[in-house]
């Protein structure tokens, strides 16, 4: 098993151990579906729970330990199990004093070295923490069988969710309780500790209402003097899917922002009784997509009667972009205090009416007389405010609908035949919407970012040559330049926004691609600028997967294919569920083949064909996968041609012809498929000409001229490839004779 496999297994087993035994294997089979080796490994680890064989790294069955002594402590019962160890209720009975404690042993859920490292890390972390809302470390040692153990204070309490439900706490009481959680997390962060697995089961509440934070088994300590990004490398992605941030799920380097996100999810759940997202039945990549794009239902809608300020507080903590969350747990706690005391919350835009209303609520007696005098004026202001809120709500929903049209709907219908005219109309309306939105946006960075993303997406649909497009290269160039202007404005306001920086980098690369099809455009200069941009960005953010993906694409165009392939293979190993990495590896193999020896060329082509054949078989409606498979086969045909095997080359190119004719047949308006069909018709004509077969060549050249002239009529400014193919077809036709 690879290290990446272990990361996946340890996360799943840790999650399974929190369930009742009958449900554990069902979870394992769901999370590791299709990976029989990993399922077997996870099953063997779970089976240790009932395994009586002696092993210094396996905790024996409970009945064999109750009554046993460990140092000065006697075990009296099983306390519970967590992701990193088994906890026993024990008493100190060495005659000095009696005290109930929690005795925690290492559980063998990981390779022994990694398990021990994490266990000792938990010891060191707990030893550095002394806070009333964090369970205290009292002692540590090694049992007679060589097993490490920790001794912590015994918490006689309930999980925070159960405590709130059983005591029927209202919103204000929940917030006051949660304020203690924020204090504990902020204390840990200020001592350079990131918990990384905050969830309700790690928070107990005692009978007198004191919160205790537990289980630092997967926490990490930052180096003193770490950068403001507070980045730390993860040792495996031990986490709980329901509470993990998007960057944690992706396997990016984590910061204190991952704990802020988990706090937001827990606050949402405590206030509403449900989590903001469901992960049941979803793959890791689907969960990442959900937490990144899917809108969270407002807490005030899930539980009517909750204040709108709580919508803003919960959402600010759970923002997909870490830079847009609260800067610390202390800031989140302070905003909760603001709400409880009637002051304006920072998570909500501070309009004058909102601030005045909060002031009046805080000072109702002192303002009573003034309120009577201002009643008529306030009445009209309230009406205006209500209308403004309605308008803002309609505007927000319109933005969400427009985003769905530009991203989700376009993605869905692009795979289907016969949809190009619908896509043209959608693009036209979307451009009108963005132009109108941009005219009155002002300097709002978030809205400008959305506008930049929107123009970029439309430019790709209009005329990015490497995927199904509308053939509108001039329109695509106009759209992508609008995207660049919007994103540069965002970065001027938020220079540390990784998302905006990466989006701008992709805009530069796609600008170069579209320029290659527009006469008079200097795509080479744009290519050099884009490569330099990504290399500089990679130096600023060397461990960001978003940046690695962009750098790999830039290196492809540099070209530095081997470095690009190494990056994509690294990303594929870390994110095996991401089909884009697989596609990019096939693409690179295809291009590397063009600059390789004959033997190496064939190996790379075969690898690309294997990848794209599997993609096309998995997704029979995926037109891009079929087109890319035809590119691979075209390379194979060129290999046969280069090695003098002309008949084999003709056979392979006829297979390419079949695929592309089918793509054009099911969607006659697909300009890219027609352009690629023209290429293979000309290629087959040339091959038949090389054999002196005038009749066969004439047939291919005749079809080439007919198709090329149709494409020229549809595009008054034909690209150079079209011109070259049409010229070759006419030359071949002159040779073959009419």
Alpha helices in 516-597 (DSSP H): 523-540, 545-557, 561-574, 579-593
Specify the DSSP element, H or E, that contains 137.
Answer: strand 137-142
Task: Report the CATH number of the 374-558 domain.
Answer: 1.25.40.10
Structure tokens at 442: 């002002």
User: Crossing angle of helices 579-593/561-574, nearest 10°?
Assistant: 160
Lowest mean pLDDT among 19-23, 31-35, 300-304: 19-23
Cβ neighbours of 191 (radius 10 Å) = 14
> What string of DSSP letters covers 79-106?
EEE-SSEEEEEEEE-SSS--EEEEEEEE
- Tens digit of pLDDT for each residue in 691-718? 999 999 999 999 999 999 988 887 655 5
Q: 3-class DSSP state for residue 656?
A: helix
* Cα 75 off chain centre by: 44
pLDDT at 596: 85
Structure tokens at 382: 């309230």
- Tens digit of pLDDT for each residue in 239-276? 788 999 998 888 887 788 999 999 999 999 999 988 99
Q: 3-class DSSP state for residue 149?
A: strand
φ/ψ of 303, rounded to 5, equals: -125, 90
Structure tokens at 578: 């991401």
pLDDT at 650: 95
User: Domain coordinates of the chain in residue numbers?
Assistant: 3-153, 157-342, 374-558
- Distance CA(606)–CA(352), nearest Å, equals 66
- Distance CA(302)–CA(268), nearest Å, equals 10
- Distance CA(738)–CA(672), nearest Å, equals 29
Taking the CA atoms of residue 418, residue 422, residue 428 and residue 429 in that order, the dihedral angle to the nearest 10 degrees is: -160
- Distance CA(299)–CA(344), nearest Å, equals 18
- Tens digit of pLDDT for each residue in 423-466? 677 777 777 767 776 665 566 787 888 888 888 988 888 888 87
More confident residue, 154 or 417: 154
Residues with Cβ within 8 Å of 570's Cβ and at least 6 positions away in sequence, in order, are: 548
Residues with Cβ within 8 Å of 25's Cβ and at least 6 positions away in sequence, in order, are: 16, 43, 46
- Tens digit of pLDDT for each residue in 335-382? 998 888 877 788 775 444 444 444 444 444 444 444 444 444 444 444
pLDDT at residue 664 tops 70? yes
Task: Report the CATH number of the 3-153 domain.
Answer: 3.30.200.20
Most confident of 12-16, 108-112, 441-445: 12-16
pLDDT at 61: 47
> What string of DSSP letters covers 191-218?
TTEE-S---GGGEEEETTS-EEE---TT
- Tens digit of pLDDT for each residue in 507-534? 999 999 999 888 889 999 999 999 999 9
* Cα 179 off chain centre by: 29
Inter-residue contact 189 to 256 (CB < 8 Å): yes
Inter-residue contact 736 to 701 (CB < 8 Å): yes
Inter-residue contact 196 to 252 (CB < 8 Å): no
pLDDT at 207: 87
The residues facing 194 across adjacent strands are 220
SS3 content of the chain, % helix, strand, coil (to 5): 65, 10, 30
* Sole residue written with tokens 């630092």: 216
pLDDT at 698: 93
Output the furthest CA–CA distance in the chain (Å, rounded): 111
- Tens digit of pLDDT for each residue in 468-491? 678 888 999 999 999 999 899 889
How many Å is the Cα radius of gyration of the chain?
A: 31
φ/ψ of 87, rounded to 5, equals: -110, 130
Q: Angle at CA 465, nearest 5°, toward 463 and 467?
A: 95
CA dihedral over 700, 704, 705, 706, signed as positive or negative: positive
- Distance CA(533)–CA(551), nearest Å, equals 9
Q: Which DSSP category does 559 fall into?
A: T
Residue 527 vs residues 50, 514, 522, 532, 699: alpha-carbon distances, Å: 61, 11, 9, 9, 39
What percent of the chain shows pLDDT beyond 90? 29
Residue 168 vs residues 165, 171, 263: alpha-carbon distances, Å: 5, 10, 21
Alpha helices in 594-645 (DSSP H): 598-618, 623-642
- Distance CA(326)–CA(250), nearest Å, equals 21
Mean of the per-residue pLDDT values of the chain? 77
Structure tokens at 125: 């972390």
Per CATH, is 157-342 categorized as 1.10.10.10?
A: no
């Amino acid at each position: 098993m690879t290290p990446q496999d272990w990361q996946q297994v340890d996360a799943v087993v840790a999650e399974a151990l929190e369930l009742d035994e009958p449900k554990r294997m069902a979870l394992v089979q769901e999370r590791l579906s299709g990976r029989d080796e990993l399922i077997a490994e996870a099953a063997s680890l779970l089976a240790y729970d009932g395994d009586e064989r002696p092993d210094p790294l396996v905790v024996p069955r409970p009945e064999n330990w109750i009554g046993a002594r460990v140092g000065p402590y006697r075990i009296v019962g099983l306390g519970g199990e967590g992701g990193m160890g088994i906890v026993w209720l024990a008493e100190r009975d060495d005659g000095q004093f009696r005290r109930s404690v929690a005795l925690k042993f290492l559980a063998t859920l990981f390779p022994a070295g990694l398990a021990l490292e994490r266990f000792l890390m938990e010891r060191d972390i707990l030893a550095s923490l002394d806070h009333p809302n964090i369970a205290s470390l009292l002692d540590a040692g090694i049992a007679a069988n060589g097993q490490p153990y920790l001794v912590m204070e015994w918490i006689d309490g309930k999980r925070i969710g159960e405590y709130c439900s059983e005591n029927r706490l209202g919103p204000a009481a929940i917030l006051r309780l949660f304020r203690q959680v924020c204090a504990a997390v902020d204390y840990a962060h200020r001592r350079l500790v990131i918990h990384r697995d905050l969830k309700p089961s790690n928070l107990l509440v005692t009978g007198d209402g004191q919160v205790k934070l537990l289980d630092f088994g997967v926490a990490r300590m930052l180096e003193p003097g770490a950068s403001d990004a507070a980045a730390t490398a993860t040792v495996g992605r031990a986490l709980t899917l329901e509470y993990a941030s998007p960057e944690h799920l992706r396997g990016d380097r984590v910061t204190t922002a991952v704990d802020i996100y988990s706090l937001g999810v827990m606050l949402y759940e405590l206030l509403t009784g449900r989590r903001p997202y469901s992960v049941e039945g979803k793959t890791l990549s689907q969960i990442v997509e959900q937490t990144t794009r899917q809108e969270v239902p407002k807490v005030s809608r899930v539980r009517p009667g909750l204040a709108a300020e709580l919508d803003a507080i919960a959402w600010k903590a759970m923002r997909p972009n870490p830079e847009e969350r609260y800067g610390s747990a202390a800031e989140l706690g302070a905003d909760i205090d603001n709400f409880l005391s009637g002051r304006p919350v920072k998570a909500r835009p501070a309009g004058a009416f909102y601030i005045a209303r909060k002031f009046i609520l805080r000072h109702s007696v002192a303002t009573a007389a003034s309120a009577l005098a201002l009643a008529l004026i306030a009445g009209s202001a309230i009406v205006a405010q209500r209308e403004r809120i309605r308008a803002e709500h309609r505007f927000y929903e319109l933005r969400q609908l427009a985003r769905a049209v530009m991203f989700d709907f376009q993605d869905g219908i692009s795979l289907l035949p016969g949809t190009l005219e619908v896509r043209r109309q959608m693009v036209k309306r979307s451009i009108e919407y963005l132009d109108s939105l941009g005219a009155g946006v002002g300097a709002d960075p978030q809205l400008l970012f959305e506008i930049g993303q929107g123009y970029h997406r439309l430019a790709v649909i209009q005329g990015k040559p490497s995927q199904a497009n509308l053939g509108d290269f001039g329109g695509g160039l106009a759209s992508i330049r609008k995207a660049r202007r919007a994103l540069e404005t965002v970065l001027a306001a938020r220079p540390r926004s990784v998302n905006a920086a990466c989006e701008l980098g992709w805009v530069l690369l796609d600008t170069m691609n579209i320029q290659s099809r527009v006469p008079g455009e200097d795509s080479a200069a744009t290519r050099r600028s884009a490569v330099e941009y990504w290399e500089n960005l990679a130096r600023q953010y060397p461990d960001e997967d978003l940046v690695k993906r962009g750098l790999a694409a830039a290196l492809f165009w540099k070209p530095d294919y081997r470095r690009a392939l190494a990056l994509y293979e690294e990303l594929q190993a870390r994110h095996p569920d991401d089909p884009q990495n697989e596609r990019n590896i096939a693409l690179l193999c295809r291009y590397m083949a063009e600059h390789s020896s004959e033997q190496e060329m064939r190996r790379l082509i075969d690898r690309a064909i294997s990848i794209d054949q599997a993609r096309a078989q998995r997704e029979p409606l995926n037109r891009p996968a079929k087109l890319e498979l035809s590119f691979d086969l075209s390379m194979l045909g060129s290999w046969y041609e280069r090695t003098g095997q002309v008949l084999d080359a003709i056979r392979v190119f006829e297979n390419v012809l079949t695929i592309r004719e089918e793509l054009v047949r099911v969607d006659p308006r697909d300009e890219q498929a027609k352009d690629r069909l023209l290429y293979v018709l000309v290629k087959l004509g040339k091959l038949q000409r090389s054999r002196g077969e005038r009749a066969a060549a004439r047939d291919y050249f005749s079809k080439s001229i007919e198709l090329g002239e149709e494409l020229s009529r549809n595009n008054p400014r034909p690209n150079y490839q079209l011109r070259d193919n049409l010229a070759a077809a006419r030359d071949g036709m002159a040779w073959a004779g009419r």
